[in-house]
Amino acid sequence: MSSFEYNQAPLRVVFGTGTLSKVPAELERLKAFKPLILCTPEQTFQAEKVENIVGSVKGITPVGVFSKATMHTPGNITDEALEFLKSSGADSLVSIGGGSTTGLGKALAVRTGLPHVSIPTTYAGSEMTPILGETVGGEKKTRSDPKILPTAVVYDVDLTMTLPPGLSATSGVNAIAHSVEGLYAQNGNPIMSLMALEGIRSLATSLPTIVSSPSDVPARSQALYGAWLCGVVLGNVGMALHHKLCHALGGSFNLPHAETHTIVLPHALAYNAPAIPEVMQKLAEVLPGSDEDAIKGLNVLLTKLKVKRGLKEFGMKESDVDKAAEIATRNPYWNPREIEKEKIREVIRRCWEGEEARADL
């Protein structure tokens, strides 16, 4: 076995059904009595539900709801939320939603040092990472800091029951992407690899059921469990080409986060396949329908999930492909295969066109 280092950041997790009712206890444990609740405009009703639950407990007084969380965590929204927070006198943060809301909670927590309780409603996994991606001046940049990691995470399967099948599919594949890259990360280790494979297996088997039967509780529970594991992987090891491509595409062309990860994943894996034969074999074993070919397994999964496969379907122009290749190959992340600009351009073109992934570059 190769040598490795393993660090585990402290983070409390509450997982189950009906666990939203435990949020007040988490705040009390943190000695936080004036929480600011964060959400997107579309999830105000969920934030208000949290506000009511928390506010019904003696001694806890929510200071309000900030409902402008936006994908890719734009700097101007963070600045506005920070002013709202300071004027409210909040002593803590509670975010409810997907990666956009979690990202805003992280941005505020790292700037203020306030405790952050994250309540995920999708399968993105951002809540388990000390990583923050922020967009300023049309370009998305990421940083990692233990202070970014939420203080506690409350997983409530009930909150995912109304997540539309399409969004369930893409946010789940987004989570799978975290674990796929974790399997060949430069600083990977056996513990993260075990979590990665279990997370991928859980999501790859449950997501097709959710798409066909959205109210299937066991499938929803299995998917949320898988997303948790994939998020842990993302938070503990480095990422490579896939995430660099998604950050470049999402931050520079305002493409939807989960959908972009879904489209890019099989193509990024296909590019790296020649350099990671052992990983490809392990992946094939946990992807149903792979026939010992991990790329085929991902193509089969995306077909079952009925997701869109082309970036052009989300507004990206063909003329943007060259610019995207330039951004994606500038200051590249570590990657198991050498980054070649012209081949990366072709990867992006295939993502734009919506072609099935193939390992021929």
Claim to verify: residue 124 and residue 182 sit in the same structural domain: no
Claim to verify: residue 253 and residue 156 sit in the same structural domain: no
Looking at 160, 176, 192, the residue that finishes a domain is 160
Instruction: Give the residue among 11, 8, 32 at the shortest CA–CA distance from 150.
Output: 11
In contact, 154 and 102? CB cutoff 8 Å:
no
Domain that includes residue 124, residue range: 12-160
Hey, what are 324's tokens? 């995207």
Q: How many residues does the chain have?
A: 361
The pLDDT value recorded for residue 193 is 96
How many separate domains does the chain show? Answer: 2
Q: Is 305 helix (H, G, I), strand (E, B) or coil?
A: helix
Using CA atoms, how far residue 111 sits from 79, 147, 259, 289, 345, in Å, is 10, 9, 29, 46, 36
Claim to verify: residue 125 and residue 207 sit in the same structural domain: no
Bridge partners (DSSP) of residue 36 are 64, 93
Is 33 within the bounds of a domain? yes
* Distance between CA atoms of residues 37 and 348, nearest Å: 38
Looking at 160, 192, 211, the residue that finishes a domain is 160
The pLDDT value recorded for residue 7 is 73
Bridge partners (DSSP) of residue 64 are 36
Note down pLDDT in tens along the chain; length 361 residues: 678 777 777 789 999 999 999 999 999 999 999 999 999 999 999 999 999 999 999 999 999 999 999 988 999 999 999 999 999 999 999 999 998 999 999 999 999 999 999 999 999 888 999 989 898 887 888 888 989 999 999 999 999 999 999 999 999 999 999 999 999 999 999 999 999 999 999 999 999 999 999 999 999 999 999 999 999 999 899 899 999 999 899 988 999 989 999 999 999 999 999 999 999 999 999 999 999 999 999 999 999 999 999 999 999 999 999 999 999 999 889 999 999 999 999 999 999 999 999 999 9
What one-character DSSP code corresponds to residue 120?
A: E
Is 137 within the bounds of a domain? yes
Q: What is the CATH number of the domain that holds 217?
A: 1.20.1090.10
Claim to verify: residue 187 and residue 313 sit in the same structural domain: yes
What one-character DSSP code corresponds to residue 340?
A: -
Is 3 within the bounds of a domain? no
* Distance between CA atoms of residues 359 and 167, nearest Å: 28
Q: Is 29 helix (H, G, I), strand (E, B) or coil?
A: helix
The pLDDT value recorded for residue 327 is 95
Claim to verify: residue 192 and residue 289 sit in the same structural domain: yes
Claim to verify: residue 152 and residue 198 sit in the same structural domain: no
Q: What is the CATH number of the domain that holds 152?
A: 3.40.50.1970
The pLDDT value recorded for residue 1 is 62
Return all residues near 274 (Cβ < 8 A) that are at least 6 apart: 337, 359
Bridge partners (DSSP) of residue 74 are 135
Bridge partners (DSSP) of residue 144 are 131
